[in-house]
Amino acid sequence: MNLSEARTALQKARRVAVLTGAGVSAESGIPTFRDAQTGHWARFRPEDLASPEAYRRDPETVWQWYAGRYADVTRAQPNEAHRLLARLERAKGEGFFLATQNVDGLHQRAGSQRLVELHGNLTHARCETCGTVAPLPAPDDFTPPPICPVCAARMRPHIVWFGEYLPERALEAATRAFQEADVALIVGTSAVVYPAAGLAFETLRKGGVVIEVNPEETDLTPYMSFGVRDVASRGLAALHI
């Protein structure tokens, strides 16, 4: 498959499923989890900040870390890649589905609606007792930890941590969408975190086309129908979205 054929396949597709990763938000200035561990945070391993065990051991430090990241994503703005995917959703209507590994909420702010967040959302917290999910106050007004508006218990970051399962309904919806897709786009993800990285194979097994947009080759690259070797915004633009 060449670029022209990839464009035609995407244009004609009735059902399109998209998986996005950190590369989509990199152009908005949002560092990856590990890249953000500078200064004071450089002495922490990811497991020190993003696991149930770490939270039980030191909830104050974990909340300080996530409060800082929350402030960062609130200042960031959606970039052209987010906007192009929102445009693609408008073009495909109910035939469109987006699954994101990102936790910054930028897809929604760009206008995407038909999506699931596989790893949670930094801008929300979840009650440790009753499970209520609620948005955080504005960063300047936020003093962690937040208190549940329903039962007044302490809330935790609404993030999927190391050792936790992805939200079952979100993963089921994503799997179904990729199984039914005529074309799937894998955008800005290193494709090393499963089960999300396996969604591409759901489309391939059903005979669909899978297009990867990434400046670097990944473990998925040998299996792809076509690859655009560029950052997310330019790669999506090259597909004439």
| Catalytic positions | 119
Tokens of 156: 């935790």
Q: Helix, strand or coil for residue 75?
A: helix
Q: Any bridge partners for residue 155, and if so which? A: 127
Q: Helix, strand or coil for residue 117?
A: strand
Give the Cα separation of 54 and 48 in Å (integer). Answer: 5
DSSP line for 54-66: HHHH-HHHHHHHH
Q: Helix, strand or coil for residue 40?
A: helix
Give the Cα separation of 181 and 27 in Å (integer). Answer: 27
Give the Cα separation of 98 and 111 in Å (integer). Answer: 12
